[in-house]
Structure 1
Amino acid sequence: MKGMDEGESIELFSWHAFKQASPKENFTQLSRNVITYSGGLPLALEVLGCYLFDMKVAEWENVLEKLKRIPNHQVQKKLKISYDGLNDDTERDIFLDIACFFIGMDRNDVIHILNGCGLFAENGIRVLVERSLVTIDNKNKLRMHDLIRDMGREIVRANSLKVLEKRSRLWFHEDALDVLAKETGTEAIEGLALRLSINNATCLSTKAFKNMEKLRLLQLAGVRLDGDFKYLSKDLRWLCWHGFPLKYIPTNFYQRNLISIELQNSNVQLVWKEAQVLISFLIFLFID
């Protein structure tokens, strides 16, 4: 990744850190040091500038000490300083959920889903946008730079490098398929995405979800589930299933906490065979 020259770097960084074209008084040398230890990389300057905005000199010096310890080629670790500086676990969870599952989705739909998870998403997404960790395009879709996305996913992976089923989120199809095929899921898993070809559906057992009691987010494509749907998590808030193979949603599938069901390219002819009581405000998106 190519760095910028000093003048360009100072101006870009200053617009994010001070909301003006040059550093404020007493921050000139500190700004130059941040730029040096950021390698002049535009993305790092933008993210770190947003993070340092409105901080005091002592806080800047603390961030600089962290930057000094990270080699220039380890860009993700430099970006992670902004993630570590988020206000609480709620904002971190929102960031990780977006990085793993919601890039490209409508901002309002994601807010609705994550609010259903108790994450106060409107405020959380606003903070992430202010920190330049998330952007919103002109169609109200959530966007994220590839390096920031990869940084978020690496945070999840690093929490359990060797044991897939102990990760909080599974988005890589080989990892998700491995856990589901071997039925090794655990309550650590909060989100799972398995997107395969809908032209040749892969058959798996519903028992694969038996121990995923905290599963909130589930995205499937090209998957057929055989067995009793009672095994799916009662904590499920979002079900996105492209190529849903059944003609109706099974009555033994607990749906009272669901916020959004998206069944694109489905075979659904009847939503429910029997009446269901839904507590949450539910969005249905059926696209034949």
Structure 2
Amino acid sequence: MEKVGEKSKNHGIDAVKKDLISALLGDKNPHTDPYDMTRLKRKEVFIVFDDVDNLIKWTIWLDSAIGLNQGGLDPNEAFQLFSLHASGKNCPVPDPNLESLAKKVTSYANGNPLALKVLGSSLPNEKDQEVWESLLEKLKILPDQRINDVLKISLEGLDDGGRESFLDIACLLTGDNNDVEGRLSTDGVEAIKNLLKARRGYSICSELNRLREIALLEVDEFGSISMHDLLREMGRQAVRDESPKHPRKRSRLWDPKEISEILVAKKRSKAVEGVRLNLREVGEMRLSRRAFRSMPNLKILNFYSYHKIFGGDEVKVEIPDGLDFLPEGLIKLCWTAYPCASLPATFKAENLVEFQMPDSNLTRLWDGVQ
């Protein structure tokens, strides 16, 4: 394929994908339905890309674009892949101290092949133990931008529905605390399916399967979904990029300061469809009764705290005059320590799939007849 880099810059990566699938299938009008993707997986081909700026980036994109990436690797496979890119050899790192650190790095990547290739290429033939330790410490605090850029390739390979479902999970439905391997838990798979079905208007089972196949999330034997924090950060950065300087023009919000500023300022924010706020991080917030009129297209509203709240001491969200509006399109309404005695009288709850108000002041759902 000629001038791949130039075509990607001028026409986007989807144009490259279309040309590739067209060439592989011999079809001028290629599709990406399950039948055609199955045909691709059965082919043995030799592909030459001309004008590429980053071999690892394009190799990973190829995996994602035509569905070759089959998800996370087991620990041995992960270690071998990392070693291959770190030392150029498909074998353990020779230094015992470095081998121990290499296993920690691969554990942190949680078997994600995209991250492993970039992490390995960050340490080509590196022998200094301090450099390895520095990389691991830095990753836990500040994810490598190169990893973020490469992980985005998988996101770009998804259709619109799959991309939106991934962003919903990454920005609105993952927990805050990761385990020792960097995984973040979400609600169970059935709860996610029901919520996102209401959000999309169709079953998202095929989208979840695709996200599993390309290692953007995991589902364990108990039906729990988890996502690596590197992947969540990649998804969140994709949303920040929607409007780098104006959070109210983004589709999803999770930063306490940004949420507070938008709700208090009451600036029109039609783009916002999801809000996820950890109440223990917000400090004090005083809202007017019209606060949510600024977000008419809101679908997911989650004001939460993982800790039981006694007497309102932990959370200081005040709505002195009560709310007069909540968007009728809400499918998820969860608000820990909701401070009002009722919901707005005008609120239509017919679209709600999930409703939780723990430790709230609710004494009735609303005033008047619905």
Same fold per superposition (TM over 0.5):
yes
Distance 1:139 1:206 in 2: 42
Q: Is the 8 A contact 1:168 1:189 kept in 2?
A: yes
Corresponding residue for residue 352 of structure 2:
258
Corresponding residue for residue 211 of structure 1:
294
1:37 maps to a residue whose letter is: I
Which of 88, 107, 117 in structure 1 is aligned with 2:199? 117
The equivalences for 1:8-157 within 5 A come to: 26=45, 37=56, 49=63, 52-54=66-68, 74-87=146-159, 89-103=160-174, 104-120=186-202, 121-157=204-240
Runs of at least 5 residues in structure 2 that lack an aligned partner in the other structure:
1-42, 70-116, 123-144, 175-185, 305-314
2:215 maps to a residue whose letter is: S
Q: Is the 8 A contact 1:113 1:237 kept in 2?
A: yes
Q: Is the 8 A contact 2:324 2:344 kept in 1?
A: no
Tell me the alpha carbon deviations over residues 15-48 of structure 1, each in whole angstroms, 9 at most, x when there is no partner. Answer: xxxxxxxxx9656999xx9x96259xxxx97x97
1:159 maps to a residue whose letter is: E
Alignment root-mean-square deviation, CA: 3.4
Corresponding residue for residue 182 of structure 1:
265
Out of 267-276 and 154-163, give the one that drifted further. 267-276
- How far does residue 237 in structure 1 lie from its aligned partner after superposition? 1.1
Which of 338, 347, 353 in structure 2 is aligned with 1:244? 338
Distance 2:155 2:282 in 1: 39
Is residue 263 of structure 2 the alignment partner of residue 163 of structure 1? no
Q: Is the 8 A contact 1:230 1:252 kept in 2?
A: yes
- How far does residue 53 in structure 1 lie from its aligned partner after superposition? 3.2
Q: Is the 8 A contact 2:155 2:163 kept in 1?
A: yes
Distance 1:172 1:199 in 2: 9
> In percent, how many aligned pairs have the same letter?
30
- How far does residue 271 in structure 1 lie from its aligned partner after superposition? 4.0
Corresponding residue for residue 18 of structure 1:
none
- How far does residue 200 in structure 1 lie from its aligned partner after superposition? 7.1
Is residue 278 of structure 2 the alignment partner of residue 195 of structure 1? yes
- How far does residue 220 in structure 1 lie from its aligned partner after superposition? 1.3
Q: Is the 8 A contact 2:257 2:282 kept in 1?
A: no
Q: Flag the 1:253–1:27 CA change in 2: closer, same or farther, 3 A.
A: same
Distance 1:271 1:238 in 2: 15
How many aligned positions are there?
Answer: 230
The SS at the match of 1:180 is helix
Distance 1:272 1:122 in 2: 35
1:116 maps to a residue whose letter is: A
- How far does residue 86 in structure 1 lie from its aligned partner after superposition? 0.6
Distance 2:219 2:320 in 1: 38
Distance 2:281 2:232 in 1: 26
Q: Is the 8 A contact 2:193 2:205 kept in 1?
A: yes
Distance 2:266 2:282 in 1: 24
- How far does residue 135 in structure 1 lie from its aligned partner after superposition? 1.0
Distance 2:157 2:275 in 1: 26
Q: Is the 8 A contact 1:184 1:208 kept in 2?
A: no
Distance 2:208 2:187 in 1: 13
1:267 maps to a residue whose letter is: N
- How far does residue 209 in structure 1 lie from its aligned partner after superposition? 1.6
Larger Rg over CA atoms: 2
Question: Normalized against structure 2, the TM-score is what?
Answer: 0.54
- How far does residue 96 in structure 1 lie from its aligned partner after superposition? 0.5
Out of 90-99 and 203-212, give the one that drifted further. 203-212
Distance 1:238 1:49 in 2: 35
Tell me the alpha carbon deviations over residues 190-248 of structure 1, each in whole angstroms, 9 at most, x when there is no partner. Answer: 11122223997632123222131211111114434344634321211111101122344
The equivalences for 1:265-284 within 5 A come to: 265-272=359-366, 274=368, 276=370
Question: Normalized against structure 1, the TM-score is what?
Answer: 0.68
- How far does residue 273 in structure 1 lie from its aligned partner after superposition? 5.0
Distance 2:46 2:329 in 1: 48
Distance 2:218 2:302 in 1: 22
2:286 maps to a residue whose letter is: C
Q: Is the 8 A contact 1:249 1:272 kept in 2?
A: yes
